[in-house]
Amino acid sequence: MAKDVTFFIDCPTLEARMQTLPNVPSVADASGKRAVQRCDLLGHPPFSDMPHGLFRAYLSPAYKATVKQVRTWMEEAGMHCRIDAAGNLIGRYEGLVPDAPALLIGSHLDSVKNAGKYDGMLGVILGIEAVAYFHAQKKRFPFAIEVIGFGDEEGSRFPVSMLTSRAVAGSLDKLPTIEDEKGTSIQQALQENGLDPAQYLEAAYKPSQVLAYFEAHIEQGPVLESLHHAVGLVTSIAAQYRFQVVMKGMAGHAGTLPMHLRQDALAAAAEAISCIEKIAQSGPDDLVATVGQMRVKPGAPNIVPGWVEFSIDVRAGTESVRNAAAEKITHALQEISQKRDVDMTLTLQHDLSASPCNPQLGAILAASIQTVTGQPAYSLVSGAGHDAMIMAALAPVCMLFIRCERGISHNPAEAVQDEDVETALRVMCDFIQNIPSEKSV
Regarding whether 298 and 157 lie in a shared domain, the answer is no
Same-domain status, 118 and 17? yes
Residue 296 phi, psi (nearest 5):
-125, 135
334 inside domain: yes
pLDDT, position 14: 46
Residues 306 and 212 in one domain: no
Flag whether 89 is in a domain: yes
Do 338 and 190 reside in the same domain of the chain? no
Q: Tens-digit pLDDT profile for the chain (441 aa)?
A: 445 555 544 444 444 444 444 444 433 578 999 999 999 999 999 999 999 999 999 999 999 999 999 999 999 999 999 999 999 999 999 999 999 999 999 999 999 999 999 999 999 999 999 999 999 999 999 999 999 999 999 998 998 889 999 999 999 999 999 999 999 999 999 999 999 999 999 999 999 999 999 999 999 889 999 999 999 999 988 899 999 999 999 999 999 999 999 999 999 999 999 999 999 999 998 899 999 999 999 999 999 999 999 999 999 988 999 999 999 999 999 999 999 999 999 999 888 888 889 999 999 999 999 999 999 999 998 888 899 999 999 999 999 999 999 999 999 999 999 999 999 999 999 999 999 877 655
Going by the annotation, the residues of the binding site are 108, 119, 154, 217, 242, 302, 315, 410
Does 245 share its domain with 167? no
Of the candidates 332, 352, 372, which is a domain's last residue? 352
What CA–CA distances, in Å, run from 214 to 80, 102, 357, 385, 395? 19, 11, 10, 14, 10
Q: Which of 173, 213, 342 is nearest to 271 (CA)?
A: 342
CATH number of the structural domain spanning residue 309: 3.30.70.360
- 91 and 30, same domain (yes or no): yes
Q: How far is CA 201 from CA 148, 163, 169, 207, in A?
A: 16, 11, 10, 15
Residues 221 and 270 in one domain: no
Q: Assess whether 321 and 407 both reside in one domain.
A: no
Query: Which of 352, 367, 396 lies at the terminal end of a domain, its last residue?
Result: 352
Q: Which residues are annotated as a binding site for allantoate?
A: 242, 302, 315
- In which domain, by residue range, is 84 found? 12-238+354-434
Binding residues for Zn(2+): 108, 119, 154, 217, 410
Q: Looking at the domain assignment, is residue 6 inside a domain?
A: no
| Nearest alpha carbon to residue 144 among 129, 125, 131 | 131
Distance CA 84, CA 66 (A): 15
d(CA 369, CA 365): 6
Same domain, 255 and 192: no
Answer yes or no: are the C-beta atoms of 239 and 316 closer than 8 Å: yes
Domain count, the chain: 2
